[in-house]
Each structure stands twice: as structure tokens, then as C-alpha cells.
Structure 1
Amino acid sequence: MEMLANIERDGHLMIRAMFLTLSAMVVALFWFLWNRKSSKNPMPPLPPGPRGLPFLGSLPFIGPNLHHEFTNLATIFGPIYKLQFGSKLCFVLSSPSILKQVLRDQDTLFANRDPTIAAQIVSYGCTDIAFGPYGPDWRRLRRVFMSHMLSKANLDASYALRKEEVLKSIGHTYGKVGSPIDLGQFAFLKSINTVMRMLWGGTLEAENGADLGAEFKNVQQNAMAEIIELVGKPNVSDFFPSLARFDVQGIARRMKQLQSMTEKIFYSAIERQKSEAVKKDEGLELKHERKDFLRFLLELNDHEDGAKSITLQQLKALLLVQYSYL
């Protein structure tokens, strides 16, 4: 019995030794393959940069004047260096030659951005040309934006429209001789009239124009300025995505409120354009014969060809970008 026990024990030991040997061979094989692959595609070393704190990185050491901070760090670490902001690894470029490589020579490689949470909200999930990923959709939207709104032909076509608004403003001023005029409000309404007619063919003198004008003034003077500020404002949720659900600074909540304000304007303009399209189909004469930007976008929204059509979200995102430009 003792001999049988010894044989059984030796058999277990032999099996265990074979298993350990086989495991070591598999590990060695994977290690060899990994090193071979790494030697063929070696990772380039990261640029230098200041050492930050664990988890926080360099966030506690960056002051409010970023351009001064970055200039000082460039004198220490050179024209390109890295900074760790929470979970985000950033690179700062301060050399004209490097910037030329990134922004012009290799622009397609660096075209994609890491949008902030505020930018994702205001761009309807990065469906515009400012924050959208580079690709066929982005190129199509940019072509629409440049060829049908910012083109020289379109600006030339709106010359008579702008001249008409100037003549109307002169006549309005002449009619107020002897009465005080709020030049700030007057200039604002006339500029907005011109922008609105270029974008969607309407003016503030239309039905319910007073309400629309007041709301548009609020969007122009307050909301749009705040939207731009929130897009560039440092947000804890951007540096630590795990905290995004809590919206510690309330930036996402406020951006959604501002977006709803602009959507009311866009919705009114879209409904007006659709009603004018119905009148045109019924043979009624329209006041604005020129095909404005919004009408063109609505035609693309209804286009049967999926390669040429745009979604309603993309339409509103393009309108917001165009409004910001103007």
C-alpha cells in the first residue's frame, strides 16, 4: 500500500511539473511575441513636462493667466511639452514651425478634437462643423456651410437686401426728428433684421415681431456670450469623467437652458419657412423670393438621397454656428 501511495504521489508531482513547464513556455512565447511586435512599432517617447500630483496632475499649479503660465513653462521644457490635467494628457505647442505642421501641413491628422461637455451639448452631440469628427459627414457639412452661406456669390446676392435695410433705417431715423432715439437698440434691431433675412428670410417687423425681437435680443446679448464662455470654461467633469454625472459646477445644466433658448428662435424660424413653402405650393405670392440659408437646409433635411440629406440636429447646429459667425 505504501508503494502504491508513493507511485500516486510521484505521478501527481510529475503532472504538476509538466503543467508548470508548459505554462512557463506559453508565457515565454507571449513575451517573445510581444517584444518582437514592440520592437517593430516602438512607442515614441513623450515630450518633457512638469511632474504633477497623483490623480490631480498639474491642475493645482496652473493659475488664471494660462498664456503666462504656458510661456514660462516653454522656457523650461522647450517648444513642446506635456501637462497632465486630471485624467487628460495635454500637449502645449509654442513653436511657429510646430504649429504650422499641426494646423496646416498635417491638419487632417489633428482635425479631431476632444470637445468639452458644454461643447457636446451646444453642438447637439458634435453634429456641427466646429466639434464634429473629421470624416465624410464633416466634409459635407463644411461644403454646405461654405458654399451656401459664406460664399462670395451669396454675400453679393444679399447686397440689395442689406441696402434695403440701410435705407429703411435712414427713413426710420428721419421720421423720428425731434424725438429721442435709443441708438443702441436701433442699431441692434437693424443688424439683427439683416442677419435674420440672410439666414431665414424673416425680420422683426413680422407678426409677433416685438416678442421675437425681445427674445432674440436676449439671446444675442446674453445667451450667446454665455454659451461661448461656458464652452471654454474649465470644467471638473471634463478632467474627471467619472464625476460628469454629478455636474459639480452646473455647467451642463446651464448650457442646456441656454440651448433651449436658442431652439425657440430656430423653431419659430423653421415653422415660418415651412408655412411659406406651403403658400408657395399653393401658388400664393411670397414677399421673400430669395432662397435663404434656412430654406436650403430644410430642402436638404427632406432630401431623399441619404448621402445629401442632413438631420434636424445637424440643421440646428449649422444655424447656431452661422449665427455665431454673424
Structure 2
Amino acid sequence: MDLVTLASTLLFAVIIAKVIRPWLFKKSQDRSLGLPPGPPRLPMFGNLLQLGQLPHRDLASFCEKYGPLVYLRLGSVDAITTNDPDIIREILLRQDDVFASRPRTLAAVHLAYGCGDVALAPLGPHWKRMRRICMEHLLTTKRLESFVKHRAHEAQHLVQDVWALAQTGKAVNLREVLGAFSMNNVTRMLLGKQYFGVESAGPQEAMEFMHITHELFWLLGLIYLGDYLPIWRWVDPYGCEKKMREVEKKVDDFHMKIIEEHRKGKRKETGSEEDGDMDFVDVLLSLPGEDGKEHMDDVEIKALIQDMIAAATDTSAVTNEWAMAEVIKHPRVLRKIQDELDSVVGPNRMVTESDLPHLNYLRCVVRETFRMHPAGPFLIPHESLRATKINGYDIPAKTRVFINTHGLGRNKAIWDEVEEFRPERHWLAEGSRVEISHWSRFQDLAV
């Protein structure tokens, strides 16, 4: 055997040993740890190759086969998944101190200012400070109520626009109409201007805004192999990380433009945060920064703008579109909604926000829409801060948690006739108000 052949053989043997040894060690470690059950795993890849284009369906099938809590090895990352309300309660309530953090994914690094926002930031002092700013200055009841007239104005325009389109006999594109409605609502509160309509910022800026938002959502929802197989980042065959950087630049430019516009029209020092005309960006620009700084850093402001836009645009529009589609497909449900509206509101005025608590059947329709068509198939992933136990199984530190809301809404152990749109399943026997948020049962995460 010549020297070159010997060297090649030895190199190949070292590479094989590097791949197989950790796998064999991991298998023996799995047995000693007592991990939850799960599908068989391949060396290096783990269970990654068992996930297709609809991973929420794949993970739901694992739960059906292996039980309510399933362990997966995704490349170099430990992960668990569940669609069971008792397990979810254990993770999000009883062991919230263990699972309160977020994984540092590449999408979060590129698209959430280095995980510097609230939604995707790991647990720590920065996250606590940013959350406190949101709760004390942006999402207060008083501030949200100050925009009631704006929301009523947008609702009136929505009805007028749909009515005008209907009179022409042409089809109404619900996605466009509802998308513009959601976008205007959030941008009026957040940025102080509309992006669609007669008094809007203009169609070109509106379409640019929508395009950036859609790209951002798509990338944030992607299960990117580079997060689980570091070697994948060297190749990036589909250009995902390159796309993240491109969108990152577009988003940052857009947010910087918003901040500069607000600075140019900045209120005098006598202006008060209690001024009802102040939008969210005005409020953020008026707040002091960290460590005695006079103002918040631009990066922090941009990260919070990003969260507000992400929380209230595509998610609302898509959910409303699904609700309308299901109601159109089920005339019986539409008639019951109309009867309730006639009874509670009457035929001579618009529905107002104060009517909503009294529209119990409509609330059931909203819950059933959430059950069948959650805005995202998973909650934002959590990550364990330390090793713990769930149902007697060992959960290692740094384990990623995928709570499958799509699977929860179709869990046959909880719901019957899971593919049937039936709002009555949420009606309370005693006739009390149907709640849409702050539910006592974690099966309601599906709605």
C-alpha cells in the first residue's frame, strides 16, 4: 500500500470514527438518561430527515405513535414535542422557570436584531427590561383604549370598501381587503399613519411594507437546517441565510426611515406621553435608555417595532380569512351569527367593540377558527435552562420545545370530529360568556 493510499484510508477512518463515536455515545447516554420515547434516529442527522414540508403534521403523527411527550434529536439539538394539554400545562405553568427562555436561532439573530426583541429573546435582564417597556408604556389598557376611534374608523372603511366592491359584481379578494385592514390598524397605533386607503402613505410604500412583512414571516417560520447541522451553513444550498441577510437589511432600512420621520416631526419637550395623539414610536422615542442614557437605543426601538408589526398583521389577516371562509362554507353558522347580531346589535348601527362581550355565538366561531386554523402551527419555541423531568422522563438542559398548536386542535383525545367546523362545541352549558383569551384549560391553546 503506497503512502497516499494509506493516508487516505487513515483520514477516512478518522472521519467515520468522528461521526459514529458520538452517535454510539449518545445512544448509550439516551438509555442511561431515561429520555421520552421517540422515533429511531440516524447518525449525525438524528430525526431531521423524517420531517417533511409540513413538520407539524409529522410531529403530530409521532405523538399519536409514541405518546403525548416525544423526544427528537434534530442534528446536534435535543428537542421534545407535544400536543397534549397536561404536558403543555407542565411546561408553561408548573415549570415555567425552566422553560421560559428561547433558543437563539439564526432567523432570530438576523431578523430580530440579534435576539434583541421581546418575542424571540432568551430569558435575561434585557428581555425583562424590554417586556417591562411593552407592558408599562405600549400595551396598557389606557393606551389601547385611546385608539378605539381609529379602530372603529378602519372597521367602517372596511365595510364600505367591501360593499362598494360587491356592488360592481366583481369577486372580493378577502386576503387583500383583510390584510389592508389589519395593516392599517397596527400602523395607525404603531407608526401614526395608514398604509392603505384614501389618506394612506401611498400604494408604493404600502406594497413595499407588505412585501417585507411577508418575507419576514416566511423566514421566521422556517425550520432552517443550519440551526441543527452547523456544517449546513457552509453550503446553504437554498440560500436561506443569504435571504435572511437581505431581508434584515430591508427591514432595518424601513425601520430607520420610520424613526427618522418621527424625529423630524418630534413633539416639543412640553409634550407628554399621556397625549392621546402619541403613537407607539413617539412613546419609545420619549423613554430613557439603559444605564442612564437619555434615550433608548435605535436598535431597541426597531426591535420593538418589529414585534408589534409581527404580532398584529399577517396573523390577524390570515385568521380572519379562515373565519370568513368557514362561515361561507357553512350557511347554518352564518345564519346563527346574523340572528345574534340582529338580537344584540340591531339592524340600524355598526357593531362596536363594546358589543363583542355579548356576542357569545360569534365568540364560539372565533374559538373554533383558532382550533382548526391557528395563526402558526407551533408556538414560538421554548428552550430549557437546565435539566428537568416531565412525567418521569429526563429532559436535558438546552432542549428545544415544540408545542404543536395545529396538532392540539386536532387531538382526538380532546376533540371529536376534529375536521368538522362546529362552533357549538365551545358553547357553555350555563350560558355564561365564552372566553377567547386567558382560558383555564390548556386544550384551549388550540383556540
TM-score by length of 1: 0.69
Cα pair 2:256 2:302 within 8 Å, conserved: no
Stretches of structure 1 that go unaligned for 5 or more consecutive residues are 1-42
Count of paired positions: 274
Cα pair 1:124 1:317 within 8 Å, conserved: yes
**Does 2:206 match 1:216?**
yes
Residue of structure 1 in register with 2:300 after alignment: 314
How far 1:269 sits from its partner (Å)? Answer: 1.7
Residue of structure 1 in register with 2:268 after alignment: 280
**Does 2:183 match 1:197?**
no
Aligned match of 1:324 in 303, 310, 320? 310
1:105-144 equivalences under 5 Å are 105-144=94-133
Residue of structure 2 in register with 1:239 after alignment: 228
The 1-side partners of 2:170 and 2:60 are apart by 48
Deviates more, 1:192-201 or 1:102-111: 192-201
Identity, in percent, stands at 28
SS in 2 for 1:321: helix
How far 1:308 sits from its partner (Å)? Answer: 9.4
**Does 2:282 match 1:295?**
yes
Cα pair 1:113 1:133 within 8 Å, conserved: yes
Give, as a single letter, the amino acid of the residue that structure 2 aligns with 1:274: R
Give, as a single letter, the amino acid of the residue that structure 1 aligns with 2:301: L
The 2-side partners of 1:171 and 1:75 are apart by 47
Name the CA shift for 1:56/1:156 in 2 (closer, same or farther; >3 Å).
same
The 2-side partners of 1:79 and 1:206 are apart by 52
SS in 2 for 1:270: helix
**Does 2:29 match 1:50?**
no
How far 1:88 sits from its partner (Å)? Answer: 1.6
Residue of structure 2 in register with 1:153 after alignment: 142
How far 1:216 sits from its partner (Å)? Answer: 2.9
Cα pair 1:199 1:294 within 8 Å, conserved: yes
Name the CA shift for 1:68/1:267 in 2 (closer, same or farther; >3 Å).
closer
TM-score by length of 2: 0.52
Stretches of structure 2 that go unaligned for 5 or more consecutive residues are 1-31, 313-447
Cα pair 2:45 2:229 within 8 Å, conserved: no
How far 1:75 sits from its partner (Å)? Answer: 4.3
Name the CA shift for 1:186/1:244 in 2 (closer, same or farther; >3 Å).
closer
SS in 2 for 1:82: strand
Give, as a single letter, the amino acid of the residue that structure 2 aligns with 1:226: E
Cα pair 1:129 1:141 within 8 Å, conserved: yes
Radius of gyration: which is bigger? 1
CA RMSD, aligned part only? 3.8
Bigger helix fraction:
1
SS in 2 for 1:209: coil
Name the CA shift for 1:157/1:84 in 2 (closer, same or farther; >3 Å).
same
